[in-house]
Amino acid sequence: MQHILIVEDSPTMRSLVISALEELGEPVRISEAASGFEALRALPRDQYDLIVTDINMPDINGLELVSFVKGNAAYRSIPLLIISTEGSERDRLRGLELGADAYLVKPFEPEILRRTARELLAKIRED
């Protein structure tokens, strides 16, 4: 079963993302991290096939997390999707340059999230 890590500090947003992904049409396991720090701890504890992260978080921001994941041989190949509320265009581009695989703007249609997640999960299966 593929494993998704969701990094998001807002509990409401987290449960919305989770409930969207629970209807992916294929069985997935979902883990949550409520901050960048929690994500850093979660990474070595398990195998993940997709990371979904917010940018604006209190401890380390999403870009710093992307930089950590993509700069680390052990995690580099995990597809990474940034979901962030409409905001700085520069931060969005920066995220993609740091190696994020896709970017979604909140509010998003659950179906678009599912489609993106399916594509990214398929990509890692092929690799």
Binding site for other proteins (CB under 8 A): 9-13, 15-16, 19, 34, 36-38, 40-41, 44-45, 55-56, 58-61, 63-68, 70-74, 85-91, 93-94, 97-98, 104-109, 112
CB of 81 to other proteins, least distance (A): 13
Q: In terms of CB distance, is 113 or 126 closer to other proteins?
A: 113
- CA angle, 14 then 36 then 115, to 5°: 45
Q: In terms of CB distance, is 76 or 122 closer to other proteins?
A: 76
Q: In terms of CB distance, is 16 or 28 closer to other proteins?
A: 16
Q: In terms of CB distance, is 73 or 126 closer to other proteins?
A: 73
Per-residue tokens: 44? 């070595």
CB of 124 to other proteins, least distance (A): 20
Amino acid 117 reads A
CB of 74 to other proteins, least distance (A): 6
CB of 61 to other proteins, least distance (A): 5
Q: How far is CA 38 from CA 44, 53, 59, 66, 90, in A?
A: 11, 12, 10, 14, 26
